[in-house]
Structure 1
Amino acid sequence: MATLSHFSSLSTISSSLPLSPRRFSPRSFPQFTVKSETEKEKQSTQAKSEGEASSASTKKTPKTLPKKPVYSMKKGQIVRVDKEKYLNSINYLSVGHPPFYKGLDYIYEDRGEVLDIRVFETGEYALVGWVGIPTAPAWLPTDMLIKSEKLVYERL
């Protein structure tokens, strides 16, 4: 419970504080002005005419758009993987399959569809998904892919 002595000490502390006669004058507040739409239009047209005059004096060079890369294949192209190139590539070595591994034969024999093509720092790669094979698509260099002319194939 609070006692009366606590309240009396508070009143003596507050009475000992100096009173500041600080008053805010209306001039100390920032002044805002409201401009009509016609004044804004006048200012914008003046700025445009000044900008045109300065641009006429300096020659502008047209912006050059980056050229689209020319790909060696198209999306939707049917491909197979060249077995010799793949077995001698770092892609095969990074997978860590044992020698004569038969689990990847579908990439040499079955058709794969190019889903996307990108140019990375190491070259042009294609995202290949195999039709009818429940595996994830793989990014492979386009130089080891063989374009297939036919959509019809027989699985051995």
Structure 2
Amino acid sequence: MASLLSPSAPLLGRDRLHLAYPSASSRRAGLHRLQPIKAFSSADPPKETPAKTTTEATKPPAPSPPKKPVYSMKKGQIVRVDKEKYLSSINYLSVDHPPYYKGLDYIYEDRGEVLDMRIFETGEYALVAWVGIPTAPAWLPTYMLIKSEKLDYERI
């Protein structure tokens, strides 16, 4: 029985390995880009792939893209917070300010800009940043926001 690496082996042996794995000298010369010729013996004929016979009726329908939510406000909308709704909300109670706290008056008087809109499990919320106030933006429910184009006020 002849070894696969013996000189008397057919193309399935050493020559096929040589073609599949080019030497360093052939890589330097750029010969590794050549495609090797595959030799088949009578024992393993080339396999043919069966033709696919799928029809349009057997393909699943393409999934429709998810619908975009419709928001009650737009990004860039000028808003302010309704004081009565905010003071009776869970948002105010979670901050735990003392009664008649004056530190949040800017959200009722100054203008805020809607930066982003999202619908969470608890409802529709807007990310509001106040213009000219060095504070972080806050997520507030949209039911407590009052839309306005321009707010007239005097800062004291």
Query: By the TM > 0.5 criterion, same fold?
Result: yes
Give the direction of change, closer, same or farther, for the CA distance of 1:55–1:134 in structure 2 (3 Å limit): same
Conserved in 1, the CA contact under 8 Å of 2:77 and 2:149?
Answer: no
2:91 counterpart residue number: 91
Confirm or deny that 1:106 pairs with 2:116. no
Q: CA–CA distance in 1 between the matches of 2:117 and 2:109?
A: 22
2:46 counterpart residue number: none
1:80 counterpart residue number: 80
The CA RMSD over aligned residues, in Å, is: 2.9
Deviation at 1:77?
0.3
1:15 counterpart residue number: none
Confirm or deny that 1:150 pairs with 2:150. yes
Gaps of 5+ in 1: 1-24, 37-45
Q: CA–CA distance in 1 between the matches of 2:152 and 2:105?
A: 18
SS at match of 2:85: helix
Deviation at 1:153?
4.2
TM-score (norm 1): 0.66
Deviation at 1:55?
3.2
Give the direction of change, closer, same or farther, for the CA distance of 1:62–1:131 in structure 2 (3 Å limit): same
**Between structures 1 and 2, the one with greater helix share:** 1
Identity of aligned residues (%): 73
Q: CA–CA distance in 1 between the matches of 2:144 and 2:85?
A: 6
Conserved in 1, the CA contact under 8 Å of 2:129 and 2:136?
Answer: yes
Deviation at 1:63?
1.6
Give the direction of change, closer, same or farther, for the CA distance of 1:26–1:154 in structure 2 (3 Å limit): farther
Query: How many corresponding residue pairs?
Result: 119
Deviation at 1:57?
4.5
Deviation at 1:26?
3.8
2:127 counterpart residue number: 127
| AA of the residue aligned to 1:99 | P
Gaps of 5+ in 2: 6-12, 21-34, 36-48
TM-score (norm 2): 0.66
SS at match of 2:114: strand
Task: Kindly report structure 1 stretches of 4+ aligned residues shifted beyond 4 Å.
Answer: 31-34
